[in-house]
């Protein structure tokens, strides 16, 4: 398929040589046309309304309606210091969509932030970037300089009387910074701990001022929506899904052509795996897959015909997340894979709340024992109790609930592999099995 502005609004500007699209080329490809339209002919509230009407949902994983989030920002002129933050701390294992956009289309993100700043009337913006994304940082800073020189950033943008300055801020490399309030804490120079909500960032955010935090891919959608309108955007999914627009989706793992593609919502996981990723590598069969990053529940082959959208994946017991799926082949032991994931999440916990700080390392210890074949009766039940104890509403932020999603689903679909990790010494002793009851208050470690 030929990529055009009509069917691939996020990626049609990409160059075949993967080089970045700088200002002159970007402008030749309708770049900053949406800024010209908004700053010269649309009130801030009109920009917010067209985004709300388009039904754009956040592309960072949660899927919260962007226009609704924007409407929570106060518009009273007395709030003369408001911030717009771009969450570019892309540290979810198996996720690389934002990196593509920032490295090859830096001006598209900048244009999205300039439009969002006009809608929200924020005077300053920050791109909070994963520290390891050195190339993205260099290219974004160069693009910002180009935009400033062209009059799209700085004082009195396009004669509108509106001022907006934009900075790149590189993080120190912690996964928890992807949580918006932890990101704000880190930006302020504090330890990256999440904050209690309410108050929400829209009321009390960076430096105590109203703040809006949006994901990279979310902001990349703003220019095409403003330029072409909400009705056009809602038609991109071709009526296949309740979710509007397109989404960067992909497959990694031992597939023939791992990668990502801009596809309309409603595309099935099977289409992405077989038609775009080329199917599993020779000699391998699909055992399980995660729809959108390491913090999403495993699904199986029977779920491949699901539409890749927020509601369909949610009803199947997982989350769309970043929509960059990971394929697990039949040679992979699920206990070992899950242990690897839980080690990452345990290491990246900020330690702020007890369930996350102590519960995740506990799950790792049990999984290591099961992987060695040294598990004890009750271990699997203890892991299930941990999944419940670390679930939604039980911890300070969403880190632990996301961390236990792959664990709870791996036990659900592949329990026999966990049972195989129980030591024969205990399995053969029926009296021992009957006498041991799992109890979270009696940790044997």
Domain for residue 3, yes or no? no
Would you tell me how many other CB atoms lie within 10 Å of the CB of residue 433? 14
Residues 340, 325 share a domain: no
Looking at residue 254, which CATH number applies to its domain?
3.10.20.600
Contact 329, 99 (CB under 8 A): no
* pLDDT at position 1 over 80: no
* pLDDT at position 377 over 90: yes
The Cα 245–Cα 224 span in angstroms is 10
Per-residue pLDDT, 437: 46
* pLDDT at position 9 over 90: yes
The Cα 97–Cα 85 span in angstroms is 18
Residues 267, 210 share a domain: no
Contact 12, 5 (CB under 8 A): yes
Phi then psi dihedrals of residue 274, to 5 deg:
-90, -45
Residues 86, 170 share a domain: yes
Per-residue pLDDT, 172: 81
Per-residue pLDDT, 42: 95
Looking at residue 79, which CATH number applies to its domain?
3.40.50.11540
Domain for residue 413, yes or no? yes
Domain for residue 81, yes or no? yes
Per-residue pLDDT, 93: 87
Residues 221, 145 share a domain: yes
**Range of the structural domain that residue 229 is part of:** 23-234
Residues 57, 177 share a domain: yes
Q: Give the neighbor-by-neighbor strand order of the sheet with 324-329.
A: 259-264, 246-253, 324-329, 286-290
Query: Given 285, 312, 329, which residue is the final one in a domain?
Result: 329
Q: What is the mean pLDDT of residues 251-255?
A: 96
* pLDDT at position 440 over 70: no
Domain for residue 11, yes or no? no
Query: Given 272, 305, 329, which residue is the final one in a domain?
Result: 329
Domain for residue 444, yes or no? no
Instruction: Give residue-wise pLDDT tens across range 13-63.
Output: 999 999 999 999 999 999 999 999 999 999 999 999 999 999 999 888 778
Contact 366, 379 (CB under 8 A): yes
Q: Which two tokens stand for residue 341?
A: 């994931």
* pLDDT at position 430 over 50: no
Q: Which two tokens stand for residue 131?
A: 């520290």
* pLDDT at position 427 over 80: no
Strands (E), 161-258: 165-170, 211-215, 246-253
Contacts of 185 (CB under 8 A, 6+ apart): 191, 192, 193, 194, 195
Contact 259, 250 (CB under 8 A): yes
Q: Coil, strand or helix: which one is 40?
A: helix
| Mean pLDDT across the chain | 92
Phi then psi dihedrals of residue 291, to 5 deg:
-70, -35
Residues 172, 59 share a domain: yes
Residues 207, 95 share a domain: yes
Instruction: Give residue-wise pLDDT tens across range 221-249.
Output: 999 999 999 999 999 987 778 888 999 99
Contact 89, 218 (CB under 8 A): no
Distances 215 to 143, 191, 267, 300, 401 between C-alpha atoms, Å: 18, 21, 22, 29, 20
The Cα 181–Cα 157 span in angstroms is 30
Q: What is the mean pLDDT of residues 195-213?
A: 93
Residues 133, 29 share a domain: yes
Q: Indicate the number of domains in the chain.
A: 3
Residue carrying structure tokens 């990452």: 344
Residues 346, 315 share a domain: no
Domain for residue 239, yes or no? no
The 3-class SS string of 65-109 reads: EHHHHHHCCCCCCCCCCCEEEEEECCCCCCCCHHHHHHHHCHHHH
* pLDDT at position 443 over 60: no
Per-residue pLDDT, 241: 81
Per-residue pLDDT, 360: 96
Residues 430, 369 share a domain: yes
Contact 254, 280 (CB under 8 A): yes
Contact 263, 284 (CB under 8 A): no
Q: Which of 206, 216, 195, 193 is nearest to 348 (CA)?
A: 193
pLDDT tier, 197 (very low <50, low <70, confident <90, very high otherwise): confident
Distances 365 to 295, 359, 371 between C-alpha atoms, Å: 19, 10, 10
Domain for residue 10, yes or no? no
Instruction: Give residue-wise pLDDT tens across range 399-419.
Output: 999 999 999 999 999 999 999
Contacts of 112 (CB under 8 A, 6+ apart): 218, 219, 220, 221, 222, 223
Residues 408, 381 share a domain: yes
pLDDT tier, 4 (very low <50, low <70, confident <90, very high otherwise): confident
Looking at residue 359, which CATH number applies to its domain?
1.20.1440.230
Per-residue pLDDT, 79: 86
Query: Given 297, 329, 361, which residue is the final one in a domain?
Result: 329
Burial group, residue 418, by CB count within 10 angstroms (0-12, 13-18, 19+): buried
Q: For residue 374, what is the DSSP state?
A: -
pLDDT tier, 445 (very low <50, low <70, confident <90, very high otherwise): very low
Percent of the chain with pLDDT over 70: 95
Residues 427, 322 share a domain: no
Distances 101 to 66, 106, 121 between C-alpha atoms, Å: 19, 7, 25
Domain for residue 349, yes or no? yes
């Amino acid at each position: 398929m030929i990529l055009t502005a009509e069917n691939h609004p996020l990626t049609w500007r990409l160059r075949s040589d993967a080089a970045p699209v700088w200002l002159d080329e970007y402008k030749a490809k309708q770049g900053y046309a949406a800024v010209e339209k908004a700053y010269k002919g649309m009130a801030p509230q009109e920009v917010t309304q067209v985004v709300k009407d388009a039904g754009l949902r956040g592309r960072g994983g949660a899927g919260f309606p962007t226009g609704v989030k924007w409407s929570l920002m106060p518009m009273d002129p007395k709030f003369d210091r408001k911030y717009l933050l771009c969450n570019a701390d892309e540290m979810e294992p198996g996720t690389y969509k934002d990196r593509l956009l920032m490295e090859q289309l830096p001006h598209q993100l900048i244009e999205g932030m300039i439009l969002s700043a006009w809608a929200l009337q924020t005077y300053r913006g920050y791109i909070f970037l994963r520290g390891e994304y050195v190339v993205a940082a260099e290219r974004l800073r160069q693009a910002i300089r180009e935009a400033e020189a062209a009059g799209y950033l700085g004082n009195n943008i396009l004669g509108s009387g509106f001022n907006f300055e934009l900075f790149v801020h590189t993080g120190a490399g912690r996964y928890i910074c992807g949580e918006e309030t932890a990101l704000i804490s880190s930006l302020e120079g504090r330890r990256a701990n999440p904050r209690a909500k309410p108050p929400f960032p829209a009321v009390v955010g960076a430096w105590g001022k109203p703040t809006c935090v949006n994901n990279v891919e979310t902001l990349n959608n703003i220019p095409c929506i403003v330029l072409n309108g909400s009705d056009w955007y809602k038609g991109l999914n071709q009526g296949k899904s309740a979710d509007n627009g397109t989404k960067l989706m992909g497959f990694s793992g031992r597939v023939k052509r791992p990668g990502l593609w801009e596809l309309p919502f409603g595309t099935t996981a099977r289409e992405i795996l077989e038609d775009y990723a080329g199917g599993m590598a020779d000699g391998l069969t699909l055992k399980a897959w995660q729809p959108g990053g390491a913090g999403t529940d495993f699904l199986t082959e029977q779920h491949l015909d699901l539409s890749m959208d927020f509601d369909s994946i949610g009803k199947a017991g997982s989350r769309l997340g970043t929509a960059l799926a990971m394929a697990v082949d039949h040679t992979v032991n699920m206990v070992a894979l899950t242990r690897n994931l839980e080690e990452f999440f345990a290491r990246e916990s900020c330690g702020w709340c007890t369930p996350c700080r102590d519960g995740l390392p506990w799950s790792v210890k049990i999984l290591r024992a099961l992987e060695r074949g040294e598990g004890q009766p009750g271990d699997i039940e203890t892991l299930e109790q941990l999944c419940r104890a670390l679930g939604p509403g039980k911890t300070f932020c969403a880190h632990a609930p996301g961390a236990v999603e792959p664990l709870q689903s791996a036990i659900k679909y592949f329990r026999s592999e966990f049972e195989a990790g129980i030591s024969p010494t205990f399995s053969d002793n029926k009296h021992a099995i009957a006498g041991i009851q799992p109890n979270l208050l009696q940790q044997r470690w």
